[in-house]
Amino acid sequence: MQKPSIPKGTRDFGPAQVARRQHIFNVIRRTFESFGFAPLETPTLENLSVLTGKYGDEGDQLLFKVLNSGDFAKDVTAADLEVGSKALLPKVAEKGLRYDLTVPFARYVAMNRGTLTFPFKRYQMQPVWRADRPQRGRYREFYQCDADVVGTDSLLCEAEIVLMMAQVLNGLGLNDFTIKINHRGVLHAIFQSLDKEGITKSASFNLAGKTWGYAAMESSLFVAIDKLDKIGREGVTKELLERGFSAANIETLFALLTVEGSYEVKLQRLLAGFVTAGVEPDGPRPDAADEEAAANYRGLTELAQVRDLLVASGFKQFDRLEFDPTLARGLSYYTGCIFEVKINNVQMGSVSGGGRYDNLTGSFGLPGVSGVGFSFGVDRLYDCLEALDLFTVTGETPTRCLITHFDAASGRAALPLLAQLRAAGIPAELYPDAKKLGVQFKYADAKGIPLVLIMGPEEVATGVVKVKIMQTGVERVLPLGEVVAALTAE
């Protein structure tokens, strides 16, 4: 006889947990829908040709692959076995489990380009799977809730992401949050502010035999900055020195990254910093007449515009919106604004994040589709709500009302009432077995059923029902014909 278990990093959700998770899903769904996002669902199984290469080498490792059905090993040769798992993989598996909701969305848009109406706004709330090492707040099977707009570069979308993030967190009662915003253009301009002499002459990269252009150095800068939270300024400095950035450059870098003040003051200080560093705008400067400031100053301009749209939309929580020039977000496909949300009074990674991308569907044959999107991590939101004790008490059952009885005859006599309660929208049960009243009450108590009706032979004979409110213990006797109306009114 086997002892049953579930795979590590996965979970069962019992009735109370499902009810609590549904509460989170409902708040998110209502928010997404009120902003005009329409639901999409994609299959759990995707072709590995769609998934592989989209999440970097590490991501490819973490993909769950599904064995081909039937005689899966028929094409494997002894030579493959010699080489190992890498040679075997393409011969034994052609499907994998959804790793995120973004790539399936991009695939869907590319496959249905002919019939979709753009801008296309979709939300998606589905589980994803990663063969990651399970730890606190990290599971192998977990839900993501994404909303994306593709087919417009309007900054209204960015402003609405901030509105939606705030609305969901407020709706859940998670009031102590910080929405961090930055722009890849700001990071680009920060890179441009560095002394080029102090970058490319790095010996360590030449040794690796690779040609490191500025683009690669810029990426490596983002990757290092992204670790600031984890390894601190000292750690980032060490890493950047190793990567071939001069000490003077690192000083310039931190001077820009650590500007202080409000959202608007930081924008102004960075602008001054870039001008001082002699950063060339690729287009007109933002103080010029033309509204469109290109490349090097685009980040600052757009961040200012997003803030302006939030003001016009009546957004009031600017104390919870922080322009953070150190926010980098590892994923390389972002090209504009980037976002990340933390709950301040809980020790927990970010509960939401996102950003704008310019070429999400390019690898599926549909280039030049700009979009912006973001995602909520439901499992982390759940853990935050639990840590802060913000869940309302949920019973183990939807049942509002249990009918107890003395014997088969009184139980049978209760059946019309049971049907009436349900027809009136009151979830109800008749205790199914002829057991002692104490057992039946214990059942109601253990499941958190708030109301118990008692049908004994006496009640049946006189046409009444005893109603007991479990929480208070208050009992009253009602004529059979008035029970449903009385309970509906409550």
Question: Footprint of a second copy on residues 262-301 (CB under 8 A)?
Answer: none
Residues 319-338 that bind a second copy (CB under 8 A): none
Rg (CA), the chain: 29
Task: Classify 95 as helix, strand or coil.
Answer: strand
CA angle 74, 78, 82 (to 5 degrees): 130
Cα(363)–Cα(18) distance, integer angstroms: 37
3-class SS letters over 42-71: CCCEEEHHHHCCCCHHHHHHHCCEEECCCC
Interacting span for a second copy (CB under 8 A) from 254-262, 271-279, 296-304, 407-415? 407-415
Interacting span for a second copy (CB under 8 A) from 119-127, 322-330, 341-349, 465-473? 119-127
Q: Burial letters for 29-65: b for 16+ Cβ neighbours within 10 Å, e otherwise?
A: bebbeebebeebeeebebebebbbebbeeebbebbbb
Give 67 or 248: the residue with its C-beta nearer to a second copy.
67
Residues 172-201 that bind a second copy (CB under 8 A): none
What minimum distance in Å lies between the beta carbon of 81 and a second copy? 6
- Is 122 a binding residue for a second copy by CB under 8 A? The answer is yes
Residue located via tokens 């939300």: 123
What minimum distance in Å lies between the beta carbon of 339 and a second copy? 17
What minimum distance in Å lies between the beta carbon of 439 and a second copy? 10
Considering only residues 25, 60, 92, 295, which one is a binding residue for a second copy as defined by CB under 8 A? 92
Give 242 or 308: the residue with its C-beta nearer to a second copy.
308
Phi and psi for 142 in degrees, rounded to 5? -150, 160
The token duo for 207 is 């040794």
- Kindly state the helix (H) or strand (E) to which residue 36 belongs, with its residue range: none
Residue located via tokens 């009385």: 486
- Is 463 a binding residue for a second copy by CB under 8 A? The answer is no
Rama region for 230: left / alpha / beta (φ>0; ψ in -120 to 50; rest): alpha
- Is 227 a binding residue for a second copy by CB under 8 A? The answer is no
Contact 310, 162 (CB under 8 A): yes
What minimum distance in Å lies between the beta carbon of 51 and a second copy? 11
Residues 44-63 that bind a second copy (CB under 8 A): 44-47, 49-50, 61-62
The token duo for 46 is 């995707």
- Is 26 a binding residue for a second copy by CB under 8 A? The answer is no
Considering only residues 14, 278, 463, 473, which one is a binding residue for a second copy as defined by CB under 8 A? 14
Residues 229-258 that bind a second copy (CB under 8 A): none
What minimum distance in Å lies between the beta carbon of 115 and a second copy? 9
Residues 430-459 that bind a second copy (CB under 8 A): 430, 432-433, 443, 446-447
Considering only residues 3, 136, 210, 230, which one is a binding residue for a second copy as defined by CB under 8 A? 3
Residues 362-391 that bind a second copy (CB under 8 A): 363-365
Indicate the DSSP class of residue 35: T
User: In sequence order, which residues have a C-beta less than 8 Å from that of residue 286 and are 6 or more positions away?
Assistant: 271, 293, 297, 300, 301
Q: 116: burial class by Cβ within 10 Å (0-12, 13-18, 19+)?
A: middle
Phi and psi for 122 in degrees, rounded to 5? -130, 150
What minimum distance in Å lies between the beta carbon of 425 and a second copy? 7
What minimum distance in Å lies between the beta carbon of 341 and a second copy? 20
Interacting span for a second copy (CB under 8 A) from 230-238, 308-316, 319-327, 481-489? 308-316
Considering only residues 28, 145, 157, 455, which one is a binding residue for a second copy as defined by CB under 8 A? 157
Considering only residues 55, 99, 108, 212, which one is a binding residue for a second copy as defined by CB under 8 A? 108
- Is 141 a binding residue for a second copy by CB under 8 A? The answer is yes
**134 cis-preceded (ω within 30 degrees of 0):** no
Give 331 or 444: the residue with its C-beta nearer to a second copy.
444
Give 43 or 235: the residue with its C-beta nearer to a second copy.
43
Q: How many residues does the chain have?
A: 490
Residues 61-80 that bind a second copy (CB under 8 A): 61-62, 64-67, 69-74, 76, 78
